[in-house]
């Protein structure tokens, strides 16, 4: 699965993965910025609560986005794959300026929407300039390679992660969420050992990566984003290790970014942004 092609002269929409447990009331800077990005008072946001099995998830985000000033918000759930064939759902997504996936279980999204016309449409709409965000499970689903589940801990093993196809808005990164709170460094490193092409992005709770059309990631929120760059990986023992043995990885680069700091997914250069002097990788 490849990301939809952006037409010449056009610009794709932003991609906004959030690490989960984002502040919704006292200081909702992440969700507020997403609303502003989608047009503020003119924002037309479709919430997809398919990952959640709680009946009120879609309604709750409708209320939150409306209170933050979005002009129109509606939840669009998918309980069966047949739902993804319905013309009225297609038309609603065609109207949106922003699409938002809630948290829950990312495998519910991939099994219910993967390979459907709705999944193809969301990729196409992002390529046409519509912004797509998601929190927790809704963040994991956004990339081509998705962490389906795995084990907690700091050391990677072959058995510490299971990957599945995601929505495929981009193939440049793989996301893990609730990162520091749930000790998920090991499984993100294992995912990169399987696929060193991608950049690993570990999102703390109440922290988001606002990824611009030029593939520059900017951090927003109260926590940190851990960026693991395997682009210059020198050695991996993944092919030799048994499932429970730790994997040896040499040549990784790790950046810990906080609000205002940036990382360019194309050049693989990090910057402290408003915090101080730019740092370049060579």
In the beta sheet, which residues pair with residue 45?
73, 98
Block residue for tokens 């800077």: 29
Catalytic residue among 97, 110, 136, 140: 136
Q: How far apart are CA 143 and CA 106, in angstroms?
A: 12
User: Whose CA is closest to 7, among 126, 128, 89, 110?
Assistant: 128
What is the C-alpha radius of gyration for the chain, rounded to an integer number of angstroms? Answer: 18
Catalytic residue among 144, 178, 218, 220: 178
Catalytic residue among 22, 62, 205, 218: 205
Residue 178 annotated in active site: yes
Burial of 29 (0-12, 13-18, 19+ CB in 10 A): middle
The token duo for 247 is 């994997």
Q: How far apart are CA 193 and CA 52, in angstroms?
A: 30
Q: Does residue 94 sit in helix, strand or coil? A: helix
User: Whose CA is closest to 239, among 198, 188, 196, 176?
Assistant: 196
Residue 160 annotated in active site: no
- Taken in order 21, 27, 31, 37, the sign of the CA dihedral is negative
Q: Catalytic residue positions? A: 136, 178, 205
């Amino acid at each position: 699965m490849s990301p939809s092609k952006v037409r010449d002269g056009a610009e794709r929409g932003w991609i906004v993965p959030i690490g989960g447990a984002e502040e919704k009331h006292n200081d909702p800077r992440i969700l507020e910025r997403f609303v502003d990005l989608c047009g503020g008072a003119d924002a037309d946001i479709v919430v997809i609560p398919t990952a959640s099995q709680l009946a009120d998830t879609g309604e709750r985000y409708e209320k939150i986005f409306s209170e933050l000033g979005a002009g129109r918000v509606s939840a669009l759930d998918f309980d069966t794959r047949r739902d993804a064939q319905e013309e009225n759902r297609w038309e609603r997504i065609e109207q949106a300026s922003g699409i938002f996936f809630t948290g829950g279980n990312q495998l519910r999204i991939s099994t219910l929407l993967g390979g459907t016309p709705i999944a193809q449409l969301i990729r196409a709409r992002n390529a046409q300039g519509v912004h797509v965000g998601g929190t927790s499970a809704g963040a994991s689903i956004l990339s081509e390679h998705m962490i389906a589940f795995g084990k907690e801990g700091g050391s990677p093993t072959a058995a510490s992660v299971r990957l599945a196809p995601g929505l495929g808005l981009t193939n440049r990164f793989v996301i893990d969420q609730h990162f520091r709170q749930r000790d998920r460094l090991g499984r993100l490193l294992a995912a990169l050992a399987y696929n060193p092409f991608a950049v690993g992005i570990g999102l703390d709770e109440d922290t988001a990566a606002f990824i611009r059309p030029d593939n520059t990631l900017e951090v927003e929120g109260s926590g940190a984003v851990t960026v693991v760059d395997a682009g210059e990986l020198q050695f991996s023992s993944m092919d030799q290790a048994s499932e429970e043995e730790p994997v040896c990885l040499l040549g990784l680069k790790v950046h810990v970014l906080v609000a205002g700091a940036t990382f360019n997914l194309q050049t693989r250069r990090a910057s402290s942004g408003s915090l101080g002097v730019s740092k370049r990788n060579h």
